[in-house]
Every structure is written in C-alpha cells, then in structure tokens.
C-alpha cells in the first residue's frame, strides 16, 4: 500500500505534461523529514510544463523542507502550500515563485464527508 505523498508524486510524474505549468521551467526539491535523522527527497524538474520526477539529492532552484506528516496533508489537499509558507510550517529556500507556480498541482480540499 502506498502512502499519500508517494501517490501524489507518482501521479504527478505519470501526467508527464501539465498545461498549467507551460510557462514554468526549473527544479523543486522536497526534503521531507520523518521526525528522526531520515530524510526523504523528491526532485521535480519542470521544463515548460513537462514534469519529471527523481529521488536524487541534487541541487535545485527551490528547496522545500517540511515534516513528512505535514506534507501528507498538502498532498491530500488538507493543507495549502501558500498558507503553510506564510505560517512557517514549511521552509522554502531559493525561487519561491516556483513553489507558487507548482502549488496548483496539489489537490483541493476534500469535500465534506471525505
């Protein structure tokens, strides 16, 4: 059984091209901490809407650091990336504009009863 974060990234990569990112080019690395020393990394490369996924620990234009449990909330639509940034729930280094452009890829809030 895969978790919500893994599912989010795999489905994003499976789309391949996202028209809403057609004017976006750059790399975003998500560093997710599990509360211990372990860190999970997801590297998203966007080239004019073409999206590729890697697990490499590579240099990125934007680096987002978050707690894994909190990121599960983003990946499920139960939290908003911009609000999380403003509250300090996530740490963003580099090109914040990339995160703002990428934000639309996160699902919207669950419907009542879900």
State pLDDT tens for residues 66-88.
Answer: 999 999 999 999 999 889 989 99
Reported pTM? 0.89
Number of C-beta neighbours around residue 2 at 10 A: 9
- How far apart CA 89 and CA 63 sit, in angstroms, is 14
**What are the φ and ψ backbone dihedral angles of 101, each rounded to 5 degrees?**
-65, -35
Q: Are 33 and 65 in contact (CB under 8 A)?
A: yes
Question: What domains can you pick out in the chain, each with its CATH number?
Answer: 4-105 (3.30.1050.10)
pLDDT of res. 108: 84
Closest CA to 44 of 6, 12, 3: 12
Mean pLDDT over residues 32-46, rounded?
A: 88
Closest CA to 63 of 29, 34, 89, 87: 29
């Amino acid at each position: 059984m895969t978790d919500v974060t893994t599912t989010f990234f795999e489905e994003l990569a499976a789309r391949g091209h996202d028209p809403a990112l057609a004017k976006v080019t750059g790399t975003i690395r998500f560093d997710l901490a599990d509360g211990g020393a372990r860190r999970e990394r997801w590297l998203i490369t966007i080239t004019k809407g073409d999206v590729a996924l890697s697990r490499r620990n590579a240099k990125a234009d934007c680096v987002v650091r978050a707690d894994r449990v909190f990121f599960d909330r983003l990946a499920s639509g139960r939290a908003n990336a911009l609000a999380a940034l403003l509250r300090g729930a996530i740490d963003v280094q580099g090109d914040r504009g990339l995160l703002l452009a990428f934000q639309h890829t996160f699902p919207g809030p669950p419907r009542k009863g879900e």
